[in-house]
Amino acid sequence: MQGPDDDLALLIQAAERAGEIAGQFFQRDPQIWDKGSEGPVTEADLAIDTMLRETLLGARPDYGWLSEETEDDAARLSTDTVFICDPIDGTRAFIEGGRSFAHSLSVVHRGQVTAGVVFLPMRDKLYAAAKGQGTTLNGQPVRVTGAKDPAQSIFLTTKANLKPEHWPNGIPAVERAYRPSLAYRMSLVGEGRFDGMMTFRPTWEWDIAAGALIIEEAGGRATTSRGAPLVFNGQSAQVDGILAGAPDVHQALVAQRA
């Protein structure tokens, strides 16, 4: 295994190349296929996935591979270190010409994220984090907010996550906002633009692995929807939702769900 810094440099290089490929298809009517319940996929997703797989595994042939657009291979479960990638997070936004789609790339070692990048090429925002090295946005350090009271916090989430069945002790009085990409939502929390984010449905690892490290290295907390530690490269490639944000407000919301 390479060090987190070396892996992060590799991820940044690959993310920038992914942005170049996305730009070749963006707002140019890319071919689209329907994956049923898994949503749409475009020729841009597939082209980026191929590039990422060739570039990253070419540089680290002993790492495993998990990506939204590659058929899962159980061989990854027997590797200590694995790339977990989403070629385009926010494919629907990409198809509609929205600029808030992201490339989400990470390295996971024995279940824990050690390097992560979220790149929004059309917004020129590159979030990067390596274990123990902090989080940066376009090379400048960023931190989560100091929010303490949920009632004075803004969370990125959908209306469905604030339904009574999720909150046996009462729905929190958080202000709600929305962005189309989970990876972008998490990165905005790491940047300190919002106090937290949450989703309570089963969540694919490739949507959140990089973002979880970006939040944690920015001083925040990222856990399952019930407050349990996140562990990646699981057999199902999903976690039980996610709740993330500034430490105090995160703790308060976990307690409110108990």
Residue 77 clears pLDDT 80, i.e. is over it: yes
Q: Which of 242, 140, 227, 133 is closest to 196 using CA atoms?
A: 242
Express each pLDDT in 126-174 by its tens digit: 999 999 999 999 999 999 999 999 999 999 999 999 999 999 989 999 9
Phi, psi of 225, rounded to the nearest 5 degrees: -65, -15
Categorize the per-residue pLDDT at 203 as very low, low, confident or very high, splitting at 50, 70 and 90. very high
Categorize the per-residue pLDDT at 1 as very low, low, confident or very high, splitting at 50, 70 and 90. low
Q: Give the predicted TM-score (pTM) of the model.
A: 0.96
For residues 208 and 89, the answer to whether their CB atoms sit within 8 Å is no
Q: Mean pLDDT over residues 10-32, rounded?
A: 95
Average pLDDT of the chain?
A: 95
- Reading the block at residue 40, the tokens are 């749409």
Express each pLDDT in 214-237 by its tens digit: 999 999 999 999 999 999 999 999
